[in-house]
Chains A and B, each alone.
Chain A
Amino acid sequence: MRSEELIKETMRQWAEEAEVPGDLASRALKGGKRVRMLTAAALAGAVAVVMAGVSLVVPSLLHAERGIAVNPEPTVNVNTTETRTDPESSPPRTLVAAGDVAVYAYYTWEEVKTSDDMVTVKRTWYLYDRDSDSYQETPWAMLDVAPGGGRAAVLEKVPADRVGVLDQAGGEIKWFQTPGAGAAYWSPDGTRLLVTTYSADPDETGAWKNGSRTVPPPSRTGWAVVDVASGEVKTQPVAYQDDRGPVNPRTDFRWNRDGSLIWEQRATEPHRQYYDLSGKPVAAPPHEDETYQEANLSPGGRLLAVSSSDDDAVTAVKDVRTGEVTPIKPVNGHWVEQLAAWADDTRLIAWACEYDEKDTCVGGEFRNRLVLVTADGGELVPLTGFRENSQQPGSWTPIFTRR
């Protein structure tokens, strides 16, 4: 039997196992009356409600009537700072979270040939499903989860003509026209999207040949800021300008800590260029451009995650008021390599390798796991299992989101 026939035959036989409830028509008629009442109420209130908006409400109400839980607030794990770990799994299978931060999504990647000389990065995205407490594969080309974990911004391909916003509570996707969208990131307050626009695939680059690769000219065209509630989209052309060219054809814009500015990574000084929302270059806010560590400033703004030049530490935490630097030395069998995100004002989520007595990483520096480490370096708890090699295809990358 050919596989296509096998699938068809399986579906035919499986479908026969469906049981037909006897009261479907009555249930639907009951629901149908609810639809008409809602419509009438909307019209009677003289509120300008589009019909599509009314119909979207109906399925949730029907489910609620039948006793199926409907979450009115699209928020996961509200008001919890519980530490969630899955130290035996890589990538994690159950939720990983600590303090105010959760890993609601991660992606795996692989390089795919697009021609004899070119390759592109293909990412597979996974989202956390609270019902099954597991991460589920999605069909999207790129996504970012909003603070709270209840909504996600998605792209169908890269670049795409539009960006979608999905709500975990259900309903249809809300689309915004953003031609050339290659990345989308939620603002810290979860009200706006920053979409970086490109004229070509920002992940396509030259294939490695004889130890080098050709990076194509930058295709970035600018950004679009989407106000999700009003649907307003403001575009801003900002080409990539750097004499040395980009180190990577993808040069996404990012929000700064409070969402008032936008910045980009540069190959030359200043390594972070900041812009106001009108596209005008501006100075960096205090301390934000003083480090390569992704965690940057703590939520309260007092501590800065920095690199360390100590012999026995590669990361450190700096008190920006006193200038005091505390190196993060090996602790609990781990060497902390990168400070990825602040869990709260006293703890960081970091990448760490397994530390051995020869002052090296077991299996190399690229074999690492997520850990939770205190800002004074005194305590460390593993959060996930080890990535065998973070530089190899198939490796996973977490997306950190405020809970």
Chain B
Amino acid sequence: MDAAAERRFREFVSARSPALMRLAFLLTGGDQHAAEDLLQTALARTVARWNSVDSPEAYVRQVMYRQQASWWRLARWRRETTVADPPESAGPDGTRAADMKIVVRRALARLTPRQRTVLVLRYFEDMPEAEIAAVLGCSVGTVRSTVHRSLARLRKSAPELAEFRDPRAFMGEVTA
């Protein structure tokens, strides 16, 4: 990589690393160290292909999606995440919603990397199922069943979600 290419790469990282770290942070279930590892690995691959990659950001994101969803990633599977305990008593509606978000965080952190990745793609990246399937290299049916199982497990980990339940979503029928 020549000096000009290196400068462009540094500018790209400087401009996009906040957004990319947010994605990595969610993909790893709120694990700061694992998120840094994930993003650094993806960026290193991008450096190696810098001159042939049309859209560096899309490439980095795809490497991270696939890296997280590809395997039984037990080494990082359930590293404990620091999520504050919810208050013991529920307050007015606003407080209750805040408590619920903590509960949902805990439940998301307990998902497998693949389950969490599919939900992050669906709900954080707002991807339709067909696009998720293309990104992960699997069928739409696999995406649909993984979303279904992930949501079911989310609800199992956080029974409190039942009161927020959207039957359409939790029956795995959420479509793009």
A72 at the interface (CB under 8 A from B): no
In the bound complex, how far is the Cα of B20 from the Cα of A379, in angstroms? 58
Within the complex, what minimum Cβ distance (angstroms) separates A333 from chain B?
34
In the bound complex, how far is the Cα of B44 from the Cα of A36, in angstroms? 10
B130 at the interface (CB under 8 A from A): no
A248 at the interface (CB under 8 A from B): no
Contact at A171–B71, with CB atoms within 8 Å? yes
In the bound complex, how far is the Cα of B47 from the Cα of A66, in angstroms? 18
Within the complex, what minimum Cβ distance (angstroms) separates B87 from chain A?
17
A359 at the interface (CB under 8 A from B): no
Indicate which residue in B67, B112, B142, B164 contacts A2 across the interface (CB closer than 8 Å): B164
Contact at A27–B40, with CB atoms within 8 Å? yes
Contact at B164–A136, with CB atoms within 8 Å? no
A62 at the interface (CB under 8 A from B): yes
Determine the residue in chain B with the shortest Cβ distance to A26. B10
Determine the residue in chain B with the shortest Cβ distance to A21. B36
Chain A 138-158, CB within 8 Å of chain B: the 1/0 string? 110000000000001010110
Q: Which residues of B contact A32 (CB under 8 A)?
A: 1, 44, 47-48, 50
Determine the residue in chain B with the shortest Cβ distance to A14. B105
Contact at B48–A18, with CB atoms within 8 Å? no
A385 at the interface (CB under 8 A from B): no
Contact at B169–A170, with CB atoms within 8 Å? no
In the bound complex, how far is the Cα of B160 from the Cα of A15, in angstroms? 22
B78 at the interface (CB under 8 A from A): yes
Indicate which residue in A11, A24, A31, A172 contacts B120 across the interface (CB closer than 8 Å): A11
A32-B44, A55-B45, A58-B45 known; A14-B37 Cβ under 8 A: no
A317 at the interface (CB under 8 A from B): no
Chain A 111-152, CB within 8 Å of chain B: the 1/0 string? 000000000000000010111101011110000000000001
A357 at the interface (CB under 8 A from B): no
Indicate which residue in B9, B17, B37, B146 contacts A66 across the interface (CB closer than 8 Å): B37
B132 at the interface (CB under 8 A from A): no
A15-B25, A20-B17, A31-B44 known; A3-B161 Cβ under 8 A: yes
Determine the residue in chain A with the shortest Cβ distance to B105. A14
Chain A 15-34, CB within 8 Å of chain B: the 1/0 string? 11111110011011101101
Contact at A24–B43, with CB atoms within 8 Å? yes
In the bound complex, how far is the Cα of B39 from the Cα of A19, in angstroms? 12
The range of chain A's interface size is 35 or more
B74 at the interface (CB under 8 A from A): yes
Chain B 42-74, CB within 8 Å of chain A: the 1/0 string? 011111101000000000000000010011111
Within the complex, what minimum Cβ distance (angstroms) separates A364 from chain B?
28
Q: Which residues of B contact A8 (CB under 8 A)?
A: 123-124
B18 at the interface (CB under 8 A from A): yes
A18-B22, A20-B17, A28-B43 known; A172-B78 Cβ under 8 A: no
Q: Which residues of A contact B14 (CB under 8 A)?
A: 25
Indicate which residue in B37, B50, B165, B170 contacts A68 across the interface (CB closer than 8 Å): B37
Within the complex, what minimum Cβ distance (angstroms) separates B27 from chain A?
10
Contact at A139–B123, with CB atoms within 8 Å? no
Chain B 66-94, CB within 8 Å of chain A: the 1/0 string? 01001111110111000000000000000
Determine the residue in chain A with the shortest Cβ distance to B169. A4
A24-B13, A129-B77 known; A15-B72 Cβ under 8 A: no
Within the complex, what minimum Cβ distance (angstroms) separates B57 from chain A?
14
Indicate which residue in B23, B71, B120 contacts A173 across the interface (CB closer than 8 Å): B71
Q: Which of B137-175 contact A (CB under 8 A)?
A: 138, 142, 146, 149, 153-154, 161, 164-166, 169-170, 174
Within the complex, what minimum Cβ distance (angstroms) separates B152 from chain A?
11
In the bound complex, how far is the Cα of B73 from the Cα of A172, in angstroms? 10
In the bound complex, how far is the Cα of B52 from the Cα of A357, in angstroms? 77
Q: Which of B84-108 contact A (CB under 8 A)?
A: 97, 100-101, 104-105, 108
Contact at A9–B72, with CB atoms within 8 Å? no
In the bound complex, how far is the Cα of B48 from the Cα of A36, in angstroms? 7
Contact at B164–A24, with CB atoms within 8 Å? no
A309 at the interface (CB under 8 A from B): no
Contact at A130–B74, with CB atoms within 8 Å? yes
If A7-B154, A130-B74 are given as contacts, then 14 extra A-B residue pairs at C-beta distance below 8 Å, sorted by A number, are A6-B100, A15-B26, A18-B21, A19-B32, A21-B36, A24-B17, A25-B13, A28-B44, A31-B47, A58-B41, A132-B78, A134-B78, A139-B146, A172-B70
Of the A-B pairs whose beta carbons lie under 8 Å apart in the complex, a sample of 24, sorted by A's number, is: A3-B165, A3-B169, A3-B170, A6-B100, A14-B30, A15-B23, A18-B18, A18-B21, A24-B13, A24-B17, A25-B13, A28-B44, A28-B46, A28-B47, A29-B6, A29-B9, A32-B1, A39-B48, A58-B44, A59-B67, A68-B37, A139-B149, A166-B71, A170-B71
8 tightest CB-CB pairs across the interface, nearest first?
Answer: A32-B47, A31-B44, A18-B25, A28-B43, A15-B22, A25-B13, A35-B48, A129-B74
